[in-house]
Amino acid sequence: MKFGVVIFPGSNCDHDTIYLLRNTLGQEVVELWHKDHDLQNCDFIILPGGFSYGDYLRSGAIARFSPIMREVISFAENGGYLLGICNGFQILCEAGLLPGALLHNPSRKFICTNSCLKVQATDTIVTAQVDPDRPLRIPVAHGEGSYYASAEVLRELNDNNQVLFRYCDADGNFTEESNPNGSVENIAGICNRGRNIFGMMPHPERAADPLLGNVDGLSIFQSILQAQDTVEG
Amino acid sequence: MKYIAEINVMPHKEILDPQGKAVSKSMVNLGLSEIQNVRIGKHITLEIEAPDEQAAHAKVDEACKKLLANLIMESYEFTLRPA
């Protein structure tokens, strides 16, 4: 599978993601500059974390209109796989590719901590290999990560099993205390109805190398590779 | 013809505005406990070249809908005047 990581001015998790895919997982990865229009025949596009355009106006609002986003949106609308992590998730919501919005954390503080997540929908390319019974420990690092959607949208997300992850405690309980940013229904990540566009606030790429002492994020990327093997095998 | 737009973007009422809430609470420290429900949004000004006010209005409205406000969490209103 050929991966493309989009680099916006202010992206800062782009190289973590590239390193993981290329060095740890041995995949082909290309860097996609935000001013380009060529997705270079990638099979899977990732919008990385960071502070694109300095988070001016609203996080992700300006990046959503970067030149390459025209091709990224068309790629995803035609069924291409697209994952947004943190700022990438904010960009996907601003682009209308995923429902809802990411609001300021109620504390008004930038939160940088480990969170526990429980996988909800297991029938997606990013979660198929993740153990739904064991909470994952994945770091979050954001100021605007409080997921918000109207009651109607929430109902649709739940009815169509589009919630990928919810914040939980170490035992897997969805509590208010384990919700770091006041997200509605402890939602940490979602997908679209077509199950090819994914967004999550936590950073699995920061928890995928034994040197960092935590590889809980690895199973998300292994899910993608496993799905590829199944198709090719 | 050049116009100036004055745009106000405000968070929806049902959305928690932590900044406004913190400022509300601080009013007590000023001895102004009569003040409540502070809500904080954005004020944006811009200049626009357009043949007439109606055309300018349509363009500013498009800018608000597409970029300046996120209608999931915010509402907007604006006024136009000749520059």
Q: Do B16 and A101 touch (CB under 8 A)?
A: no
Least CB–CB distance from A106: residue in B16, B70, B72: B16
Q: Give the count of domains, chain B.
A: 1
pLDDT band at A232 (very low <50, low <70, confident <90, very high): low
Separation CA B16–CA A104 (nearest Å): 9
Q: Give the gap in angstroms from C-alpha B81 to the nearest C-alpha of chain A.
A: 24
Q: Which of these, A212, A48, A67, A64, lies nearest to A137 by C-alpha position?
A: A212
Backbone angles phi, psi at A145, to 5 degrees: -130, 15
pLDDT at B20: 95
Cα(A203)–Cα(A113) distance, rounded to whole angstroms? 11
Q: Are the beta carbons of A100 and B16 separated by less than 8 Å?
A: no
A115 phi, psi to nearest 5 deg: -120, 160
- Nearest by CB to residue A101, choosing from B66, B67, B73, is B73
- Provide the pLDDT for residue B70: 98
Q: What confidence tens digit (pLDDT) does each residue in A81-135 have?
A: 999 999 999 999 999 999 999 999 999 899 999 999 999 999 999 999 999 999 9
Put simply, the chain A residues between 171 and 230 with a CB less than 8 A from any chain B CB are: 182
Question: So what's the pLDDT on residue A228?
Answer: 75
Q: Which two tokens stand for residue B50?
A: 């357009």
Average pLDDT over residues A42-70: 97
A127 inside 8 A of chain B by CB: no
| Dmax (CA) of chain A | 49
In this complex, the residue of B15, B22, B67 whose CB is nearest that of residue A103 is B15
pTM of the model: 0.95
User: Which residues of A are tagged catalytic?
Assistant: 86, 203, 205
B71 touches chain A (CB under 8 A): no
Instruction: Kindly state whether B72 is in contact with chain A, defined as any CB-CB distance less than 8 angstroms.
Output: yes
Q: Where does the pLDDT of residue A227 fall: very low under 50, low under 70, confident under 90, or very high at 90 and above?
A: confident
The span from the CA of A115 to the CA of A40, in Å, is 35
CATH number at residue B24: 3.30.1280.10
Match 């990411």 to its residue by tokens: A102
**pLDDT at A233 > cutoff 60:** no
- B46, B72, B76: best mutation site toward chain A, by most A Cβ within 10 Å? B72
In B, minimum Cα distance to A65 occurs at B67
- C-alpha distance from residue A203 to each of A83, A138, A139, A220 (Å): 12, 6, 6, 11
Structural domain boundaries, residue B48 = 2-82
> Is the predicted pLDDT of residue A70 greater than 80, yes or no?
yes
Q: Give the closest-approach CA distance of B32 to chain A in angstroms.
A: 23
CB A88 within 8 A of CB A116: no
User: Closest to B73 (Cβ–Cβ): which among A62, A103, A108?
Assistant: A103
Residue A229, pLDDT score: 75
B43 touches chain A (CB under 8 A): no
Give the integer Cα–Cα distance in Å for A20 and A83.
Answer: 15
* pLDDT single digits (tens) A128-170: 999 999 999 999 999 999 999 999 999 999 999 999 999 999 9
CA-based angle B74:B79:B83, to the nearest 5?
130
A14 CB within 8 Å of a chain B CB: no
Q: Is A149 on the interface with B (CB under 8 A)?
A: yes
> CB–CB of B18 and A61 under 8 A?
no
The DSSP line for A131-192 is -TTS-EEEEEEESS-EEE--HHHHHHHHHTT-EEEEEE-TTS---STT-TT--GGGEEEEE-
Structure tokens that stand for A162 in this block: 């589009």
- For the segment A24-30, the average pLDDT, to the nearest whole number, is 97
Burial class (CB in 10 A: 0-12, 13-18, 19+), A43: middle
State the average pLDDT for chain A: 96
- Chain A contact for B16, CB < 8 A? yes
Query: Mean pLDDT across the stretch B13-34?
Result: 94
- Cβ separation A108–B22 shorter than 8 A: yes
CA–CA dist A201, A226 (Å, integer): 23
Tens of pLDDT along B36-77?
999 999 999 999 999 999 999 999 999 999 999 999 999 999
ipTM value of the model?
Answer: 0.90
Which tokens sit at A30? 């290309």
